[in-house]
Amino acid sequence: MEKDLTRRSVLQRSAAAGLMAVPAAGLLSACVGAKDEAPKDDNAGTVTATNPLGVKEDAEVEVVIFNGGLGTKYATDVHIPSYKKLFPKANVKFSQTEEISTVLTPRFSSNTPPDMVNNAGSKLMDQGKLVGAGQVADLSDLFEAPSLDIPGKKVKETLVPGTIEQGTYKGKPYVLNYAFTVFGMWYSSKLFKDNGWTAPKTWAEFTTLLDAMKAKGITGYAYAGANASYYQYLVILTTAAKIGGADILKNIDNLQANAWKDPAVLQAAKLWGEIGAKYMDKAHLSLKHTEVQLQQNQYKVGFYPSGSWLENEQAKDTPAGFDYNVAALPAATASDKLPANAIYAAAGEMYFVASKGKNVRGGKEYLRHMLSKEGARKFTELTKVLTVVQGSTEGLTLSPGLASSSKALADAGANNFSFRWDSWYKKMDDECRSATNELMFQGGTADKFVQRMQAVADAVKADSSIEKFER
């Protein structure tokens, strides 16, 4: 969900600290030495019915939010005012950045982190390594606390099933995945209506439609190679799951032997490699996501793979009547194990509390305000993205894209799935971005793709310094 990046300020800050010559991964690994240090708790207050986490009422809490597809107004206009209403004596120190790792890795390495962090974007921190280094607070007490505004309910009882598990590492919840995101192929309802097109259900319908777009001078399918290749590897693995079943993704998560070499993954990579070779614009390899998304808003691109943050991210560039819509990926074969309407949908957009922050309790309390029904409803209103809080869209007028993603989720029913290896193992994520671009833009083969990914998965599995997770 990263925005087009403006690097100058964050690079200057890092350079001023004398850190630019040190790789981010090396900085983060420095955290491990402090793993067993007891976190400070200088800001304990009195536990009451309205203050179940025992926050000190005048203690400052520091919050850092990633400024990307969701923007930051939901923090400044909704969640911070909610926190301040309950704790009027407390200052909420707020900052935003487009490069989370660049700005925050030095602070975690020196054990001076902010209290609550939104870890997202192309330059996010390695979440699995942070957890393994003891830098992330256990959120169990947050989920056991009463909801801020849903009487008689604990926080955990207000959430979409699977939310807590999505942020669980080795049996404990460390991360709140807040935005419930629907992934698929996004298109303009106006473009399709004007041309008499309908979203494809089968692969043959898909390629026929791409041919029709090509004949009209439209790039039928596109993504940005410079920083959005993870959109595309998600698409490849979604197709693999449809072909062979969602357990394929679980096997990859669990680093099972030859999981990437599963025939369904190979077949999915082959199909998408053919799409890249025949229908994509090779110039998009060097473009950022916002540049390709702008081309779609100009009706130069047909399908664009992304999550449901897209509508909000492109709001200022979307012409009237464009009307975003999302299509599930078409069935790859007649014998797919999952139906055509199956989708990748999951709690995402990571928020966590730093265990070595000055106000751990305040960081958790901030998350409690995010998980209030009102906090979630206003988040959706501002971002056009669903949250993990049940019933929080009641009374809202849904935008075209949000209505479309809600319908896609309903149509899929139980046939939605996700994976977690990308947030667990950054080394695999980095390699997959490169391997995907090679496959889609640079004449790579499906065999090469699965071989590269199996090799890096094997290397991660064999590396005793990397914390391992399972689901």
Q: Which pLDDT score is estimated for 178?
A: 96
DSSP 285: G
CA nearest neighbour of 390 among 148, 52, 156: 156
Per-residue confidence (pLDDT) for residue 188, from 0 to 100: 98
Q: Where does residue 322 rank: exposed (0-12), middle (13-18), buried (19+ CB within 10 A)?
A: buried
Phi, psi of 223 (to 5 degrees): -150, 170
pLDDT band of residue 42 (cuts 50, 70, 90) is low
Task: Tell me phi and psi for residue 274, to 5 degrees.
Answer: -65, -35
pLDDT band at 40 (very low <50, low <70, confident <90, very high): low
Please say if the pLDDT value at position 364 is more than 70.
yes
pLDDT at residue 39, rounded to an integer: 45
Model confidence band, residue 18 (pLDDT cutoffs 50, 70, 90): very low
pLDDT at 13: 29
| Residues pairing with 303 in the sheet | 221
- pLDDT mean across residues, the chain: 90
Amino acid 20: pLDDT: 28
Q: Report the pLDDT value the prediction gives residue 69, as an integer from 0 to 100.
A: 84
Q: What is the pLDDT of residue 41?
A: 57
Across 424-444, average pLDDT: 96
The pLDDT assigned to 43 comes to 73
CB atoms within 10 A of CB 254: 16
SS (HEC) of 345-413: EEEEEEEEEECCCCCHHHHHHHHHHHCCHHHHHHHHHHHCCEECECCCCCCCCCCHHHHHHHHHHHHHC
**Res 97: pLDDT:** 96
Q: What is the β-pairing status of strands 176-188 and 324-327?
A: antiparallel
Rounded distance between C-alpha atoms, residue 289 and residue 269, angstroms? 22
Q: Which residue has the tokens 């402090």?
A: 34
pLDDT tens profile 185-236: 999 999 999 999 999 999 999 999 999 999 999 999 999 999 999 999 999 9
Residue 465: partners with Cβ closer than 8 Å, 6 or more residues away: none
Mind listing the domains of the chain with CATH numbers? 11-180+347-396 (3.40.190.10), 181-345+419-462 (3.40.190.10)
CA distance linking residue 330 with residue 201, whole number of Å: 5
In this structure, what DSSP letter does residue 323 have?
-
pLDDT at 16 over 50: no
Kindly state the average pLDDT of the residues 427-451. 97
In which element (H, E) is residue 447 found?
A: helix 446-462
Pairwise pLDDT comparison (264 vs 14), residue with the higher score = 264
Please say whether the beta carbons of 441 and 225 come within 8 A.
yes
- How many distinct helices (H) and strands (E) make up the chain? 21, 12
Q: Where are the alpha helices (DSSP H) in 255-322?
A: 263-279, 289-297, 310-313
Percent of the chain at pLDDT exceeding 90 = 82
